[in-house]
Amino acid sequence: MKKDYIINKTSKVQEKESKIEVINGATYIDGILIVNKTYSLPKDFIPNNTYEKVTKETGMCPLCINIDAYNAFKKMEEDANKENLKLWIQSGYRTYSYQENLYNRYIEKDGKEKADIYSSRPGHSEHHTGLSFDLNSVEDSFIDTNEGKWINDNAYKYGFIIRYPKGKEKYTGYKYEPWHLRYVGKTLAKKLYNDGNWISLEEYFDITSEYKD
Ligand SMILES: [Zn+2]
């Protein structure tokens, strides 16, 4: 893999050294792939080690997600099942062009300003990483369901974070999305869960999430 550059940066929030690396156009901080309004993925980025393989025909593929994220989801699904809760992935991996169509449809419907707070511009979608997915229903009311509440309290145990927590819009750049999970591994997920007071990735790494234009 080609490393474009490496920066060592001290985060104000954590007072720790974070290593920022850009590899083939994708940004990693302490090994965590970062995609938000500031950091994007190249158009041709394809996640490797996915459960179902990404092909030329892939547009959106629920199970074309990273194998570790998939296995963690299966375990979580199984444990949720024991409590009579049903979890499913309704949207997983999305290609650049799939996201482009989706985003353009939202612009037509609501205008650019509004679309930018609930949808991502192509290249800026976490769904492009293969490490994120939307559960069950993409509705604000998901948090009021038993599944939504259980996910909020338990997803971190499997290595997932609520990527766009409630009240963190000014950091993440997105409105609260109780259904959108991102796999980061158990250690970081536990820190970000923060005993129920979710910390966003942006706060944790002291990074921005803002479009340049
Ligand atoms: Zn999502």
Angle (CA) 13-15-16 rounded to 5° is 120
What is d(CA 66, CA 196) in angstroms, rounded to the nearest whole number? 26
Q: Are 45 and 22 in contact (CB under 8 A)?
A: no
Tokens of 117: 């707070």
Angle (CA) 175-119-23 rounded to 5° is 100
Let me know if residue 194 belongs to a domain. Answer: yes
pLDDT at 105: 96
Residues serving a catalytic function are: 177
What pTM did the predictor assign?
0.92
- Domain containing residue 50: 40-205
Ligand 1 geometric centre to CA of 143 (Å): 15
Let me know if residue 21 belongs to a domain. Answer: no
Secondary structure letter of residue 66 according to DSSP: B
Let me know if residue 164 belongs to a domain. Answer: yes
Let me know if residue 100 belongs to a domain. Answer: yes
Ligand 1 geometric centre to CA of 15 (Å): 30
Let me know if residue 24 belongs to a domain. Answer: no
Ligand 1 geometric centre to CA of 104 (Å): 16
pLDDT-derived band of residue 18, with 50, 70 and 90 as boundaries?
confident
Q: What is the CATH number of the domain that holds 106?
A: 3.30.1380.10
What is d(CA 90, CA 97) in angstroms, rounded to the nearest whole number? 19
What is d(CA 26, CA 132) in angstroms, rounded to the nearest whole number? 16
Tokens of 112: 């650019």
Indicate the number of domains in the chain. Answer: 1
Let me know if residue 154 belongs to a domain. Answer: yes
pLDDT at 115 over 90: yes
Let me know if residue 99 belongs to a domain. Answer: yes
For residues 143-169, average pLDDT: 97
Q: Name the amino acid, one letter, at 73.
A: F
What digits encode the pLDDT tens for the residues 52-106? 999 888 999 999 999 999 999 999 999 999 999 999 999 999 999 999 999 999 9
Let me know if residue 114 belongs to a domain. Answer: yes
